A and B are shown apart, each in its own frame.
Chain A
């Protein structure tokens, strides 16, 4: 669009930063774009979940009131809940309320949906932190050791164990842990994690041990093998061979040159593991009665509790988008080639490309 004579030309945020002589990182426009895309993703997820929940067979009013309610009572409740309005109107109305922080009340429990969900999400995040605090260093150290001693007896034994844990269903691990540490002769841990809602999960660490161990055994094989593969590939790169030829100590080669370059795909894997723990912990929540977000979502869908389903979908989508963003951002910062470009190419498949190029990036 042409500018009018005498009017200042339109300038973008990048130009203004540069005009103010503030150094703007090259990746800044990418980050802003990712934030906008993340916002769009969250909105799209909320709309899809809303439609999907209403598309389920059955009527929320009937589900809430149960089979003994008369049709007249169900019709009145439908009217009171506004379920007779067009779906688009219901969704826009929901969005309008969410914009001012009102997520509505749970249809099932008649308590604010946000309060109910945020507490469950807090419990899930606490469990996730607990798991990752242990898993990350364990997987990292084990993966590095296996890569450095690849094809040794230690590597083969560790790999066999990891594949074994990966092959066992999580519920079987959970049950085995309960039998071993709770109801068997070695009764030293609580069998189920019935947290006291008035206390922080971190104030009740004993309740976290068994669910966290189950998740650890679920995530550890994946992360460890990823780290091992990435580092193995890096250790075979030409510049590592050159370093060895120059006589650098192996320890220095591994920790100063190989490990940092093997990190980007590991970060993506770590983000994936985080999402697994956050969203895929339902089996653990059920087996241990852990009050997390997964079982809350499951129950809300079963009861067609739309405000709770929507609140969980929205908050979970925000959490997943945030985790992805942090992982991508960290990858960009740790990869010089990406750090210095204005258009970092971080789409699906990036992890594979990065892994291939890990040695020469």
Chain B
């Protein structure tokens, strides 16, 4: 299954970036142009209050199984080996260098010198080994263990007090590791406990934690980025309702709100003292077709559904125009993406012909949607109805939607945040995909993905990816109709919030500062 995307924190904060890894020393990625005016030099001091939306899951403090609001808390407490540039490229954070072997079967990671945990312990190779072994420990049951499944946790080598070498399981490649391990790869000390010893080396120390209400933090003076974070204290306040949070922002009870829905963005843009920052991203919006369904096992039916989608209309109506159209392929920002594949057009006549050829001139199917995907499902059902298809929309609550789809389920709404091509494949349709909701298994496609995962050289990887993308475009199971923008809002007194490609600038808690400090 694929995580629902619209306003889904878990999805939006998951790994993203480019897969052009190869030999990465220092990982200095290109910077995207930053939106907004020059805000001047950051000031230190004050308290930042972030209002976050989590209708149900309050989440925990565990570095390796954060859920709900726990994900943004994780960015405050824990630092990772890598983080994203604003152009959504992985770059070194705690890692001084990352070197992938030419065969993609191993990676050497070297830590910066002098890194420190909140309780004073030096960050060392043994902590790194402990952290990767912990997240991949089956008994921890981390929801993100599948993202590092290629790493063989039993053959990790410690080369020196700051350097380790990870090996892949036989037949696996580690090229996508940086992309898949960023979000949930918090480095923790060997004496870590997610309840009694909540220690990381992130920008803030935990001060208090009230699940479902608020968490408070104080600045970590020995944070690895000199001079950061800028604010003395951080509060993360949890809201169940978007409207209540918007009121809180308007009235100055919070300073920053992430993942603002488009409807409220219009209102907030008109509010005095409030600014809205829109980040154009490549967050995938999809309709996932289950190839085990009798009708959808026929590629002609899948292609017909793709032709029935009026993508500009979907972006206009389901995303209120705040997005871009898709071509049934993910990761258009990836350096290996094949831009020569023609954009699929809205062609109901050809769709009808294909359906007739497949023996389904009057097909009836059900789209299963969560709250975030329901608008797109309804719009698409209406589009398809004009061509004689009877598409019903079944809306499920988040809990029921999360359950693995039964084989008879036809289409589900889906999406993932902008990741590189290989990382996206590892979510969607690769042979080792963690949640292959469409049950798409193509031997040639699988072989190409596995080969690409072991090929760190971007130029050599391109032909592999291009062929894989042709397969996806010609006989795949994803109807990727668009990519959505993401919005954050803040009081004018807050600096450091800029538009970027990483879906959600709100995770950069070490960069925000108060102009009135």
B357 within 8 A of A: no
Q: Are A183 and B399 closer than 8 Å at their CB atoms?
A: no
A109 within 8 A of B: yes
- A173 to B142 Cα, complex, angstroms: 44
Q: Please name all residues of chain B whose beta carbon is closer than 8 Å to the beta carbon of A57 when the two chains form the complex.
A: 399-400, 403
Q: Are A69 and B247 closer than 8 Å at their CB atoms?
A: no
Question: Nearest Cβ distance between residue A150 and chain B, in whole angstroms?
Answer: 41
Question: Nearest Cβ distance between residue A290 and chain B, in whole angstroms?
Answer: 9
A-B contact count (CB 8 A): 169
Give residues of chain B (117-158) contacting chain A, Cβ–Cβ below 8 Å.
138-139, 141-147
- A286 to B242 Cα, complex, angstroms: 9
- A80 to B141 Cα, complex, angstroms: 10
B244 within 8 A of A: yes
Q: A69-B146, A191-B244 are in contact. List 4 more A-B contacts (CB 8 A).
A: A68-B143, A71-B404, A73-B141, A194-B237
- A111 to B144 Cα, complex, angstroms: 21
Q: Please name all residues of chain B whose beta carbon is closer than 8 Å to the beta carbon of A109 when the two chains form the complex.
A: 58-60, 211-212
Chain B contact residues, CB within 8 Å of chain A: 1-4, 10, 14, 55-62, 65, 67-68, 138-139, 141-147, 194-195, 208-214, 237, 239-241, 243-245, 247-248, 250-251, 253-254, 397-404, 427, 434-435
Q: Are A110 and B253 closer than 8 Å at their CB atoms?
A: no
Q: Please name all residues of chain A whose beta carbon is closer than 8 Å to the beta carbon of B211 when the two chains form the complex.
A: 106, 108-109, 111, 116
| Contact-residue bracket for chain A | 35 or more
- A76-B138, A299-B57 are known contacts. Are A191 and B253 too (CB-CB below 8 A)? yes
Q: Are B251 and A108 closer than 8 Å at their CB atoms?
A: no
- A67-B1, A296-B212 are known contacts. Are A110 and B195 too (CB-CB below 8 A)? yes
Q: Are B251 and A194 closer than 8 Å at their CB atoms?
A: no
Q: Please name all residues of chain A whose beta carbon is closer than 8 Å to the beta carbon of B239 when the two chains form the complex.
A: 192, 289
- A192 to B138 Cα, complex, angstroms: 42
Q: Are B138 and A302 closer than 8 Å at their CB atoms?
A: no
Q: Are A58 and B399 closer than 8 Å at their CB atoms?
A: yes
A141 within 8 A of B: no
- A106 to B240 Cα, complex, angstroms: 18
A89 within 8 A of B: no
User: Interface readout for A55-69 with B: 1 if CB under 8 Å, 0 if not?
Assistant: 011110011111111
Interface centre among B10, B59, B244, B401 (most CB of A within 10 A): B244
- A57 to B67 Cα, complex, angstroms: 20
Q: Are B212 and A299 closer than 8 Å at their CB atoms?
A: yes
Q: Are A295 and B399 closer than 8 Å at their CB atoms?
A: no
Q: Are B56 and A66 closer than 8 Å at their CB atoms?
A: no
- A58-B400, A304-B399 are known contacts. Are A110 and B143 too (CB-CB below 8 A)? no
Q: Please name all residues of chain A whose beta carbon is closer than 8 Å to the beta carbon of B14 when the two chains form the complex.
A: 68
Q: Are A302 and B399 closer than 8 Å at their CB atoms?
A: yes
Question: Nearest Cβ distance between residue B239 and chain A, in whole angstroms?
Answer: 5
Q: Please name all residues of chain A whose beta carbon is closer than 8 Å to the beta carbon of B144 when the two chains form the complex.
A: 68-69
Q: Are B251 and A191 closer than 8 Å at their CB atoms?
A: yes
- A67-B435, A68-B14, A302-B56 are known contacts. Are A194 and B248 too (CB-CB below 8 A)? yes
Q: Please name all residues of chain B whose beta carbon is closer than 8 Å to the beta carbon of A288 when the two chains form the complex.
A: 244
Q: Are A66 and B402 closer than 8 Å at their CB atoms?
A: yes
A178 within 8 A of B: yes
- A280 to B146 Cα, complex, angstroms: 42
19 contacts between A and B (CB under 8 A): A62-B399, A67-B4, A67-B435, A70-B146, A73-B141, A73-B142, A108-B58, A109-B59, A111-B211, A116-B212, A191-B253, A192-B251, A194-B214, A194-B253, A287-B241, A289-B241, A298-B56, A302-B55, A302-B399
The 10 closest A-B pairs by CB, nearest first: A69-B143, A109-B211, A302-B56, A191-B247, A191-B251, A58-B399, A65-B143, A77-B141, A197-B210, A73-B141
Question: Nearest Cβ distance between residue B134 and chain A, in whole angstroms?
Answer: 14
- A284 to B454 Cα, complex, angstroms: 55
Question: Nearest Cβ distance between residue B179 and chain A, in whole angstroms?
Answer: 14
A190 within 8 A of B: yes
Q: Please name all residues of chain B whose beta carbon is closer than 8 Å to the beta carbon of A108 when the two chains form the complex.
A: 57-60, 67-68, 211
A72 within 8 A of B: yes
Q: Are A66 and B251 closer than 8 Å at their CB atoms?
A: no
User: Interface readout for A170-205 with B: 1 if CB under 8 Å, 0 if not?
Assistant: 000001001000110001001110110110000000
A332 within 8 A of B: no
Question: Nearest Cβ distance between residue A193 and chain B, in whole angstroms?
Answer: 9
- A198 to B3 Cα, complex, angstroms: 35
- A187 to B273 Cα, complex, angstroms: 14
- A110-B194, A194-B237 are known contacts. Are A299 and B244 too (CB-CB below 8 A)? no
Q: Are A58 and B403 closer than 8 Å at their CB atoms?
A: yes
Question: Nearest Cβ distance between residue A89 and chain B, in whole angstroms?
Answer: 22
Question: Nearest Cβ distance between residue A345 and chain B, in whole angstroms?
Answer: 43
Q: Please name all residues of chain A whose beta carbon is closer than 8 Å to the beta carbon of B57 when the two chains form the complex.
A: 108, 299, 302-303
Q: Are B59 and A74 closer than 8 Å at their CB atoms?
A: no
Interface centre among B61, B67, B139, B144 (most CB of A within 10 A): B67
- A139 to B119 Cα, complex, angstroms: 57
Q: Please name all residues of chain A whose beta carbon is closer than 8 Å to the beta carbon of B143 when the two chains form the complex.
A: 65-66, 68-69, 73
Question: Nearest Cβ distance between residue B53 and chain A, in whole angstroms?
Answer: 11
Q: Name the residue of chain A whose CB is nearest to the CB of B244.
A: A289
Q: Please name all residues of chain A whose beta carbon is closer than 8 Å to the beta carbon of B254 when the two chains form the complex.
A: 194
Interface centre among B14, B61, B141, B208 (most CB of A within 10 A): B141
Q: Name the residue of chain A whose CB is nearest to the CB of B65.
A: A65
Question: Nearest Cβ distance between residue B430 and chain A, in whole angstroms?
Answer: 14
Q: Are A66 and B3 closer than 8 Å at their CB atoms?
A: yes
- Among A190, A192, A197, which residue has its beta carbon within 8 angstroms of that of B213? A197
